[in-house]
Structure 1
Amino acid sequence: MPALTLGAIGVVFGDIGTSPLYTLKEVFQPATGVPLDAVHVVGACSAIFWALMLIVSFKYVVLILRADNRGEGGALALTALAAHAVRAHPRRRRALLLLGLFGATLFYGDGVITPAISVLGAMEGLQVASPALQPWVVPVSLAVLAALFAAQRLGTAAVGVAFGPIITLWFLTLAATGVQQVAHEPAILAALNPLHALAFLQERGWQVFAAVGAIVLAITGAEALYADMGHFGRAPIRLAWTALVLPALALNYLGQGALLLRDPSALESPFFRLFAPQWVPAAIVLATLAAIIASQAVISGAYSMTKQAMQLGFLPRMALRNTSAREAGQIYIPAVNWALLAGVAAVVLGFGSSSALAGAYGIAVTVTMLVTTVLTYFVVRHGWGLPRAVALSATGFFLVVDTLLVAGCSVKFLDGGWFTFAVGLGLFTLMSTWARGRELLLQSIRSEGLPLEGFVQGLGASVSRRADRAAVYPVADPATVPHALLHNLKHNQVLHARNVVLTVVFHDVPWVEEARRAEVRALDHGFWRVALHFGFMQPPDVPRALALCEAQGLRLPPFETSYFLSRETVVPTPGAGMAGWRERLFAAMSRNAASVADFFRLPDNAVVELGTRIQI
């Protein structure tokens, strides 16, 4: 438990832990209309504290962490859980899949904003140390981010060991500096009374949405508690939040509020003004390390999300590298890495400061939170089988709060909030197009293909030449004859002694136990049908899984087995299906998908690829 709790502190809470760098300053920006006086400082700190309590403590720690998909959490895991709960209602299931998919795509917008705003917020301490360094904030931020993304190919194992102690030191520093300021101005402790938060929000009138849009910055990163549950478990995350993270954040926000009560001019940078001048350089170094760790957690999350999306059929195959021989979850996807770096560099150059970037931050996070609440209702109601009244009482209050948060962030839409929304919408278009295209492709294969069992029965002894080897034909539809097999028979006029029609099935659960991995069925005349089952968190190592078939009577020696792959060239055609532009998009994605051989970890010297053209 201590080791897991320390790891959770380092990985899970980096994002929400760097929010004090910029949150309180944004509440009192001119755009929010909040005056900087004692009453409003206490009210703002109270609103931030109770946002942490309601959203993070009550919603995520108490409720959402219970909705685990066999130990795994996150947007796609929850989507799969909710869709499975309503599997008896196909239309409702499809709607939940699309809703969850849209919520998941917004995570990538967060993955672009979080590294940019965290590192910029840390580097802005340079201008506190010396105003002459202000022009260097953006260049130094870009250099730090470029080095971070360039290091991803090396893996996070070595760096990860230091994450926990560094972030623990960060939270202890937050708490210590907060306590020091609260001791000087104990009147700020009135912010613990929720009535001050309610009075603060009610007084704002229609401008309450602008204030809420700034306060929500304090809870960005809350989704990480649920997304990383599979890495550390429910208990360590709850312990870390309750024992260290929540007290440290609360004390630091109260400390910043106490400082503003005594010295309103500290609003320029209330976080770094908590430190004595001689300690500001050390604070900048620690804040930079915390920002890098917060960014690393989001980057690693983007890799994991992409892998899950590929295996659930929402994205084409991409080149993927495991960076650890011991931890299957430590992966590196070059295409995602460099796309994220390009996006992060663009927003750093385009926005230029954490204050400007704060306008783009929040809307993606709050919409994701709203989607999570909706999906949780269906899990509670249909998955757990609890009465409707219980499900509504468990999620209804959070649904109202999340809706208010989304409305608060929506006022920043034209100030930059459109960016993350555009990223999410673009990715949603790609993912939904790929999923629908694969459906149409499978329908085309079934309509044009020959039934496998009839083909095998009619084959008889008509093929006298048999190669004394095994041939494995991976296919999407096991009921039809593989195109590669037909090509092999037509051009080479030979069959192998053992012919395996292989289907790889990814389930909407994170893990499938090894006892259920291989499903073998013997057909006639040397033909076998094999289905290999994987969860969406498992690497699809096909040769290793095929070795399990020997227990069911099918022996496939590695050096006597060849893999014949059908590489489909998609041909868009007018008619039913998708719009023309979506069919052309799907065809382009299909052409650029990574190799099946690499994805399924097939041996390079045993693979034969044969092409075929399929109309959709």
Structure 2
Amino acid sequence: MNITATGSAEVLTDDQPRDPGHGQGSLAKLMAGAIGIVFGDIGTSPIYAFRETFAGHHTLKPDALHIYGVLSLIFWSMLIIVALKYVTIIMRADNKGEGGSLALLALLNRSSDDTERRKWATGIVMLGVFATALFYGDSMITPAISVLSAVEGLTTVNPGLEPWVIPIAIFILVGLFAIQSRGTAKVGQLFGPIMLVYFTVLAVLGLIHIVKHPAVFLEMLNPLNAFEFYFAEPLPAFIAMGSVVLAVTGAEALYADMGHFGRRPIKFSWLYVVMPALLLNYMGQGAMLLAQTPAEALATVRNPFFFLAPDTLRLPLVILATMATIIASQAVISGAFSVTQQAIQLGFMPRLSIRFTSEHAAGQIYIPVINWALMVMVILLVVMFGSSSNLAAAYGIAVTGAMLIDGVLISVVLFSLWKWPAWKAIPLLFVFFTIDILYFSANLLKVPDGGWFPLLIGAIAFTLLTTWAKGRKLMIDRMSEASLPIEVFIKSAATSATRVPGTAVFMTTSMTGVPHALLHNLKHNKVLHERVMLLTVRIQDVPYVPATTRIETKEYGAGFFRVVIRYGFMEEIDVPAALAQIKDCGQQVKMMDTSFFLARQTLITAARPGMAVWREKLFAWMLRNAESAMEFFKLPTNRVVELGSQVEI
């Protein structure tokens, strides 16, 4: 099945390989960049994960049984979910260097034969789209909980600052979203050094307390402590998993951001820098609590991360943690932009205004409507929930749902793409699914306390994504029903119509028929240009297309040409720039002698088989609010003619 591309009738998908060009530079430089961007989410988890497990909505007594059990769960979850599942297995399933649910869908679509694809195509595509939808809920909660949890550290410096926590958090978040339009290139240069300092501080603070209670090191590595916790208190242990999973939130970002840095820098950064620092910090929090009296531990466990630092260094730690959470939020916001761009290019969202904020890094983009929508929702979350502890009740369902879906997708990869034997794949998948299902089930208990929010956002996003994809397909099918073969048209009309100087470019999705805009133009204006180009833009199932295969042309005679321009789903579309490179369609295309003809469809709701009426109305609303094809394809504003038509689906 080919994924029908973008939010316009002028774009299709295709399957062509490309040369991966990601992750260029020295390993050390790429590792520093990865540490600064990829690990922000999982790196800030120590601020609230341990606290929520013991002092959240379902409290645990901070004694040896629970502390050792939770530490063991954290260690083995990091080892199995992050190091084994994502870093070792899933990150090998890259689509020409790119990762993420949509990139993996494109890989599966392109790499499997028709027989195997029919077995799982529809279900897998829906799961992948739903994982993408869940990401939007995650991208709203992550900035809110991260920044709020860091600012709450001020109360450990001065309890009187508590009324200022929410206003300060909102101020920081508004500032963060306000600077998105300027790009993150310059600010991004500081991300790596700041996060390196942050992870170093995490490790040092942890070590300071570990030396006072060294037994915590071996106890954390011992998986029997996790089982002992479960056998002693099955229900509290199961509930605790809903908070323990906060320690591995952000694992999916390693895969999604792989295209920016490559597999090796992310793998080495995780194994040699990030994971050791995180584990040392969690051990330090546990050791600190174990070294205290029960009364002291009950007070400390309400914010153990900040109490790791002595009083004189607590304010600098709050500032450093706040900077780290801003970086983590930036990574999620940038991820929302990237996912949206992929969804537009692959045909799951209508055209939106996309601005490129860097001349050198194609991945640095800004999508205004997504940015401001995220800002509004994030601020609403901060005001509605009021504390990071309340937000933690909503956090986790989207992440564990996405992890479970990733498990399903990697199952298809193991059997259909990599052809692993059952004896090798099944035990591994059994471990992955057991852990994923346990974590997802534990997080379902959070639904009444706020977990409904990411599920609601996911359901809304899923409905929008699938409605657009299906509506576009139905519209293209309806328009193709009345299509006239181009050869017949040329023989009957091209020889008798008046020809005028210049070039006319008619945008079309079809490779066989006559574009509706061409028929309307001839019907009303009764002329044809000397050179007529039927242009189709194709979005391929790869991130980038090499220049050698970008343009394909075919001559019909009588001044008619078929032109296909190919782009990867991570590339910026610029039709005039591509047309200027054509050399085998007569004279070079000059914009001052060229007119672009676009068809603008008006949807008429009808009771025809296809979609429910409410979805037709939703699709019509999305169609009306899509960005103009003129802007999307970067067409010169004074050279565009739009011709309307009505379509029933």
**TM bucket, shorter chain:** over 0.9
Residue in 2 aligned with 1:238? 267
The separation in 1 between residues aligned to 2:426 and 2:566, in whole angstroms, is: 36
Q: Which residue of the partner structure matches residue 24 of structure 2? A: none
How far off is 1:100 after superposition?
A: 0.3
Which of these residues, 175, 180, 189, is aligned with residue 152 of structure 1? 180
- Residue 343 (structure 1) aligns with: 377
Aligned to 2:489: 455
Offset, 1:571: 1.2
- Tell me which amino acid in the other structure corresponds to 2:361: E
Please give the alpha-carbon distance, in whole angstroms, between the structure 1 residues aligned to 2:398 and 2:547: 38
State how 1:188-267 maps to structure 2 within 5 Å: 188-189=216-217, 190-263=219-292, 264=297, 265-267=299-301
Pairing 1:521-560 to 2, within 5 Å after superposition? 521-551=554-584, 555-560=588-593
User: Matched residues in 2 for 1:538 and 1:392: separation?
Assistant: 37
In structure 2, the partner of 1:508 is 541
CA distance in 1, matches of 2:488, 2:347: 29
1:108 aligns with 2:142: no
SS in 1 for 2:627: coil
> Structure 1 388/527 Cα, relative in aligned 2: closer, same or farther at 3 Å?
farther
Kindly indicate whether the alpha-carbon contact (under 8 Å) linking 1:209 and 1:411 is maintained by their aligned counterparts in 2: no
Q: Tell whether 2:388 aligns with 1:354.
A: yes
Q: 1:373 aligns with which of 407, 418, 425?
A: 407
CA deviation after TM superposition for structure 1 residue 540, in Å = 1.5
| Cα distance in 2, alignment partners of residues 491 and 548 from structure 1 | 32
How far does residue 54 in structure 1 lie from its aligned partner after superposition?
1.1
State the identity %.
48
The alpha carbon displacement at 1:197 in A equals 1.9
**In the aligned structure 2, how far is the partner of 1:427 from the partner of 1:492?**
42
Give 2:106's match in structure 1, choosing from 75, 80, 86: 80
Q: Distance in 1 between matches of 2:480 and 2:272?
A: 57
Measured in 2, the distance between the counterparts of 1:206 and 1:84 equals 44
The answer to whether structure 1 residue 313 and structure 2 residue 347 are counterparts is yes
Which residue in 1 is equivalent to 2:152?
124
Residue 157 of structure 1 and its aligned partner are, at CA, apart by 0.4
2:242–2:442 CA contact under 8 A, matched in 1: yes
Residue number in structure 1 paired with 2:167: 139
Deviation at 1:551, TM superposition (A): 4.6
What is the rounded CA distance, in whole Å, between the counterparts of 2:243 and 2:274 in structure 1? 21
Q: For 1:326, what is the secondary structure of its paired residue?
A: coil
CA–CA distance in 2 between the matches of 1:432 and 1:554? 43
Distance in 2 (alpha carbons) for counterparts of 1:353 and 1:31: 12
Partner of 2:501: 468
Residue 643 (structure 2) pairs with residue 615 (structure 1): no
User: Shift in Å at residue 411 of structure 1?
Assistant: 0.9
Among candidates 393, 402, 412, match of residue 446 of structure 2: 412
DSSP-derived class of the 2:358 partner: coil
> What secondary structure, in the 3-state scheme, does the structure 1 residue paired with 2:350 have?
coil
3-state SS of 1:32 partner? coil
What is the alpha-carbon distance in structure 2 between the residues aligned to residue 170 and residue 553 of structure 1? 60
- The one-letter amino acid of 1:536's match is F
- The residue number in structure 1 matching 2:23 is none
Match of 1:293 in 2: 327
Distance in 1 between residues matched to 2:599 and 2:617, nearest whole Å: 20
Taking the aligned partners of 1:91 and 1:380, their CA distance within structure 2 comes to 15
Question: Is 2:208 the counterpart of 1:180?
Answer: yes
The CA deviation at 1:531 is: 1.4
Question: Which structure exhibits the higher relative contact order, with contacts defined as CA atoms closer than 8 Å and separated by 6 or more residues?
Answer: 2
Is 1:12 aligned with 2:27? no
**What displacement does 1:136 show?**
0.8
Kept after mapping to 2: 8 A contact 1:12/1:228 = yes
Structure 2 unaligned blocks of 5 or more: 1-26
Q: 2:627 aligns with which of 594, 600, 615?
A: 594
Is the CA contact (8 Å cut-off) linking 1:87 and 1:93 kept in structure 2? no
2:464 to 430, 441, 448: 430
Offset at 1:87?
A: 4.7
Aligned-partner residue type, residue 311 of structure 1 = Q
Q: Secondary structure at the match of 1:443?
A: helix
Q: Deviations over 1:99-136 (max 9, x none)?
A: 10001111111100000000011000111111111011
Q: Is the 8 A contact 1:85 1:379 kept in 2?
A: no
SS in 1 for 2:235: helix
Verify the 8 A CA contact 2:489 2:514 in the aligned structure 1.
yes
Residue 614 of structure 1 aligns to a residue whose secondary structure is: strand
Long gaps (5+) in structure 1? none
Q: 2:50 aligns with which of 17, 24, 43?
A: 24
Letter matched to residue 183 of structure 2: G
| In structure 1, C-alpha distance between the alignment counterparts of 2:107 and 2:324, rounded to whole Å | 33
Residues 506-536 of structure 1: per-residue CA shift (max 9 Å, x gap): 1222122221111111113211111111111
When normalised by structure 2's length, the TM-score is 0.93
Between 1:142-151 and 1:445-454, the stretch displaced more is 445-454
Task: Output the CA distance in 1 between the equivalents of 2:235 and 2:204.
Answer: 37
Q: Tell me by how many angstroms 1:414 deviates.
A: 1.1
Select between 287-296 and 405-414 the one with higher mean Cα deviation: 405-414
In 1: Cα distance, 2:96 partner to 2:288 partner: 46
Provide the secondary structure at the position in 2 that maps to 1:489.
helix
- How far apart are 1:454 and its partner, in Å? 1.8
Kindly provide the CA deviation profile for residues 196-237 of structure 1, in whole angstroms up to 9, marking residues without a partner as x: 122223333133331110100000000111111100001100
Aligned partner of residue 340 in structure 1, secondary structure:
helix
- 1:421 equivalent among 436, 455, 465: 455
Deviation at 1:252, TM superposition (A): 0.2
**Matched residues in 1 for 2:417 and 2:571: separation?**
24
TM-score of the pair, normalised by structure 1:
0.97
Q: 1:30 to 1:308 in 2, by over 3 A?
A: closer
Q: Paired residue for 1:40, among 66, 78, 87?
A: 66
Q: Residue 572 of structure 1 aligns with which residue?
A: 605
User: Is the CA contact 1:138–1:349 (under 8 Å) kept in the aligned structure 2?
Assistant: yes
- On the 8 A contact 2:249/2:399 being kept in 1, the answer is yes
Question: Which of 93, 117, 136 is equivalent to 1:67?
Answer: 93
**2:450 aligned partner, one-letter code:** G
Aligned counterparts of 2:585 and 2:274: Cα–Cα separation in 1: 52
Which protein has the bigger helix share? 1
Contact 1:81/1:379 (8 A) holds in 2: no
Report the residue type matching 1:287 in the other structure.
A
Closer, same or farther: CA 214–262 of 1 in aligned 2, 3 Å: same
Contact 2:494 2:528 in 1 (8 A): no
Match of 2:595 among 552, 555, 562: 562
3-state SS in 1 of match to 2:645 = strand
**Whole-angstrom distance in 1 between the partners of 2:561 and 2:428:** 50
Q: CA deviation at 1:277?
A: 0.9
SS of the aligned residue for 1:68 comes to coil
Distance 1:554 1:91, change over 3 A: farther
User: Is the Cα–Cα contact under 8 Å of residues 44 and 146 in structure 2 kept in the other structure?
Assistant: yes
Q: What is the Cα deviation at residue 141 of structure 1?
A: 0.4
Provide the rounded CA distance (Å) in 2 between the counterparts of 1:30 and 1:243. 31
2:76 aligned partner: 50
Give the equivalent residue in structure 2 for 1:392: 426
Amino acid paired to 2:162: Q
Whole-angstrom distance in 1 between the partners of 2:587 and 2:598? 20
| Inter-CA distance 587–440: structure 2 relative to 1 (3 Å threshold) | same
User: What secondary structure does 1:609 align onto?
Assistant: strand
Task: Give CA deviations for 1:380-424 in whole Å, capped at 9, x if unaligned.
Answer: 211223334433344332122111111111111111111001101
Report the alpha carbon displacement of residue 33 of structure 1 after superposing the two structures with TM: 5.0
Residues of 1 paired with 2:95 and 2:584: CA distance?
30
**CA contact under 8 A between 2:55 and 2:301: conserved in structure 1?**
no
